[in-house]
Structure 1
């Protein structure tokens, strides 16, 4: 594995852990402590990582400032929160916004269901694009180069419902583009059900996926049209707010 990959793995682990010790990072990354410590010291020198009072490590101000700038440059990420909260409160199911990261998808904003049985993506979570409603929306409405790159690689099977045949997935993506929304049942997580629609930043053109993620056991087929309508209305409201936003201000 390249040093750059190890460094990225370390940053992702720090993001997920919200602070971690050298021992825990070494174990999680399966790297020797001296190697991890060398990376940490280099990152600490440039404020990407900070040392905590308890001796652990966490993401530093330079990382957080970079992330904030990225959010500020994307009007959808800046304006989505109140509309997503309203949809979550209306349905009491998890509502997430996912974006493309390389050839994966990453959860950037999420508001969880308050119900004891719930499905979540977790902010910062990365997952393949070929499995799940949100990934299919990002592939279907994203650039052709992205689809070409994803479909050129073997499609990993996660459950019996995962699309692993390229021709079948391409046909599914055509259906998603025609319908304007995607649905998945247990493609990435057994027992999970999701609906997703695209949200396009009117300023940058970047496509995100607005997703409802719920237990399949709680879903009723009669709710499909209502969920799609409410999800689509939320997406259009986010796009409208993003289209008239200026700087830190949203409609």
Structure 2
């Protein structure tokens, strides 16, 4: 039995409408922002560009599945199902899977050791590291603790871990470079990496001997470090906040 053109068109249109409806539902969920408790229907309309009737229709389905909760005053807040999914994501998300390829790329391009640091109390922790192929290099291992000194790494950790970011963060020229700050024979260059939203994830850095990792070598490596940091931020689900122009700063 052959189908007429109208039937074929109707069946082809149905999947497209389903995709569009799913897209609108995701747009609605994405309209909620950090700090929101409940959001009115009028505000959701303004944020999404969707008409109120569309939002109300989508909200019914999202409520049924636990993604939204409608309050007595007509406003909406996010439902517990999103919290459950977030917990599943956090448990399954391995930062190492994203960081290690970034470090390997930095070493392959620059030839210097690449590390990812986080702050641990009054010290900085080398969470991940890929060593330079050169025999002359700083011997730091994953898990080593270093002091929160005046090095480029410590400066990045000290400034960008604060939330909200202090005004001075926007004035810092990245990446930060220091020579001989923690060791007279070692130079380092670091820049921040961000996680979901604009949360600070850690410091991505390159280190090498001052005789080799001089100002000229640093100027050549800086664009690579900044580019890899931006890629890593995106892969971690982060957003880079407004910062200064990507040029070398520090001392």
Conservation of the 8 A alpha-carbon contact between 1:95 and 1:110:
yes
Offset, 1:204: 8.0
- Name structure 2 gaps, 5 residues minimum: 1-89, 239-251
What is the Cα deviation at residue 240 of structure 1? 1.4
- Counterpart position of 2:63: none
Higher relative contact order (CA 8 A, sep 6+): 1
Structure 1 residue matching 2:140: 3-state secondary structure: coil
Q: Which residue number corresponds to residue 227 of structure 2?
A: 233
Partner of 1:219: 213
TM-score normalized by the length of structure 1: 0.53
Distance 1:186 1:121 in 2: 16
Q: Is the 8 A contact 2:106 2:114 kept in 1?
A: yes
Per-residue CA shift, 1:177-228, capped at 9, x if unaligned? 5213211111111200000000011268233000101000112422333211
Query: Residues 111-130 of structure 1: matches in 2 within 5 Å?
Result: 111-130=130-149
CA contact (8 A) 2:115 2:126 kept: yes
* Separation in 1, partners of 2:207, 2:170: 17
Q: What is the CA-CA distance between 1:103 and the residue it aligns to?
A: 2.4
Which of 85, 110, 124 aligns to 1:105? It is 124
1:201 aligns with 2:195: yes
Choose 1 or 2 for highest CA Rg: 2
Aligned to 1:187: 181
CA contact (8 A) 1:76 1:200 kept: no
Q: Do the aligned partners of residues 212 and 74 (structure 1) sit closer, same or farther apart at CA in structure 2, a change above 3 Å counting?
A: farther
The Cα shift of 1:130 comes to 2.7
Distance in 2, Cα, partners of 1:131 & 1:144: 21
| TM-score after normalising by structure 2 | 0.53
Aligned length: 150
Q: Measured at CA, do residues 175 and 191 of structure 1 come closer, stay the same or move farther in structure 2, by a change above 3 Å?
A: farther
Q: What is the deviation of 1:74?
A: 6.5
Query: CA–CA distance in 2 between the matches of 1:210 and 1:218?
Result: 20
Q: CA deviation at 1:93?
A: 0.8
The 1-side partners of 2:119 and 2:170 are apart by 17
Deviation at 1:144, TM superposition (A): 6.5
Which residue does the alignment assign to 2:73?
A: none
Q: Gaps spanning 5+ residues in structure 1: where?
A: 1-70, 148-172, 245-251
Aligned-partner Cα distance in 2 for 1:193–1:72: 36
Distance in 1 (CA, whole Å) between partners of 2:208 and 2:100 is 19
